[in-house]
Amino acid sequence: MNSQKVKTPLGGSGFAACGGDAAREADIASILIIGSGLYGRLLCSVELGRRLRATGHEVAYASPERSRSVVAAAGFRFFPIPEVELGVFTRRVPRLAGGVTTRSWAERERRLSAGLLTLGLSDFAELLKTEDPDLVLADFELHGQIMVAVAQGYRTALYTSMVAGSPGWQSPPLHTGVVPGRGFAGSRAGVALTWIRYWTWKGRFLLRAGLGSWGGDLASILWRHAKSTGFDRRLIAPWRWQLPWSYRLPLLVLQAREFDLPRRTPDNVHYLGPMIARGPPGDRKNSQCSQFLDAFQAERGDTEQKLIYAAFGTIVTPDSALVRNLWTAVGRNPAWRLLFVAGRYGKGEFPAERPANVEVVDWAPQLEALSTADLAITHGGTGSIVEAVDTLTPTLAYPRPKMDHPGNAARVAFHGIGRVGRLDDDAETIEGDIRETLESFAIRDAVARMKQAFDAYAEAQTAERVIDTLLTGPLGAS
């Protein structure tokens, strides 16, 4: 065990907010970051690791195998962990091999035990013993690993690149897209009603999953795991947005507080500011995209040509109708050029006719593209929105329901850093939204103010100060 380490149980009133004299100098520490493998979160957490390493801390990374190349390119030691089915909103953990033939308690116990084995937590417990980190930073949806780390007495904090998702009078559930102050849905009563509806749905969802899978669902497996490891189940926070639950543990939000909606920040939530990975991971290149950007900048000169960058992330696939209407809207305006990133969208599914001012690439170095673009069209992922702000690019968001994207888009609308469309918008509506966003001085001013707020976190070394406080202060539940 490291000589400076004192493992303490969770408890007390929490730790002081850092900043100024409140932050204390921490010794060099070993930090283990645990990732889920989701690409956006991976880049954010690796950037956090880089900053912590720059202050002298020793940082290692545990994540599913698909993360290895990015982690290795960043120069961190890498430990593979099993892929975890997060089942955030619409999916439950797949049924175990063999199916269910009876609903006996013996069958339920068998399924629970088999489910625990699929999580690979015994190997993770051995990894913790071997590495013996001073601090564990875990993706807030890696429930099994969180429980193991806390139960074994390691200082543990959670992180997310999403917004916090805690209830509040002006903080609706992330999947709703409700904008505070707009209509009845955005009123105090309307927001409260959306939370009541969500809690009702969530309770029914978990109950149906538990009964339908008969011990094979994620929540039941995790509950059994908590009991078997001695994890204090009072640390579970079921009322927050995440499925199946969140935790009363320190939560590091890799976003700016100014991007979130106005509400009281819970004592356990700490905004570290955006974690933007500069440059493509490793040696990943895209000559087609780079050549297009170079040619566009050379051609644009002092003309009125506008570059529109459209990308829909690494998880979702845009609807064909939306793509067709977007291409039609751009095709009507020769002064607009559209750089469309195919991503998960199969090229065979593209509209039959592509306008001459639409360029399609498989992948793009997003920061480079946004630095040239005049408008970003996105699915509402936090990473895309944050990088658009960082490059002073307004956003036009088309969020897909049942994820956090509508909530992110609501923040775009609330702060005036762009506009929000609908997946079923026709070409005329899309064309109007593009034009208004491109021509709005108010939007550009709002984007510039938000970027100033973003930059302030790095200048103040907020992330480094919070981590020092986690390492030296009492780690409390809230």
218 and 355 inside one domain: no
| Distance in angstroms (rounded) separating the CA atoms of residues 240 and 413 | 23
What's the pLDDT band for 474 if we cut at 50, 70, 90? low
- Asked if residue 239 and residue 178 are part of one domain, the reply reads yes
Same domain, yes or no: 253 and 318: no
Same domain, 426 and 412: yes
Residue 32 has φ and ψ, to the nearest 5°, of: -110, 115
Q: pLDDT of 12-23, one tens digit each?
A: 333 333 333 333
Confidence of residue 299 (pLDDT cuts 50, 70, 90): confident
Residue 280 included in any domain = no
Query: Do 215 and 91 share a structural domain?
Result: yes
Q: Tell me which residue of 145, 416, 374 sits closest to 258, measured CA to CA.
A: 416
Domain count, the chain: 2
In contact, 314 and 40? CB cutoff 8 Å: yes
Secondary structure E strands in 291-438: 306-310, 336-341, 358-361, 375-378, 395-397, 418-420
Q: Which domain holds residue 332?
A: 287-456
Chain position carrying tokens 């890498």: 78
pLDDT at 68 over 80: yes
318 and 406, same domain (yes or no) = yes
Whether residue 37 lies inside any domain: the answer is: yes
Helix extents (H) in 301-417:
320-331, 366-372, 382-390, 405-415
Whether residue 3 lies inside any domain: the answer is no
Domain assignment present for residue 7? The answer is no
**Do 230 and 297 belong to one domain?**
no
**DSSP bridge partners of 247:** 236
How sure is the predictor about 88, in pLDDT bands with cuts at 50, 70 and 90? very low
Q: Per-residue pLDDT tens for 129-166?
A: 999 999 999 999 899 999 999 999 999 999 999 887 78
Looking at the fold, whether 467 and 424 belong to one and the same domain comes out as no
The Cβ of residue 247 has, within 10 Å, a number of other Cβ atoms equal to: 24
**Same-domain status, 218 and 308:** no
Contacts of 279 (CB under 8 A, 6+ apart): 365, 367
Beta strands in 121-271 (DSSP E): 135-139, 156-160, 236-237, 246-247, 251-253, 269-271
Q: How many CA atoms lie within 13 A of 176 on its CB side?
A: 21
Residue 100 lies in a domain: yes
CATH code, domain carrying 303 = 3.40.50.2000
CB-neighbour burial class of residue 204 (10 A; exposed 0-12, middle 13-18, buried 19+) = exposed
Q: Say if residue 321 is in the same domain as residue 245.
A: no
Query: Is residue 48, in this structure, part of any structural domain at all?
Result: yes
282 is a domain residue: no
Looking at the fold, whether 222 and 321 belong to one and the same domain comes out as no
What's this model's pTM, rounded to 2 decimal places?
0.86
- With 0-12 CB in 10 A as exposed, 13-18 as middle and 19+ as buried, what is 173? buried
pLDDT tens profile 326-347: 999 999 999 999 999 887 665 5
Answer yes or no: do 183 and 319 share one domain: no
2 occurs within a structural domain: no
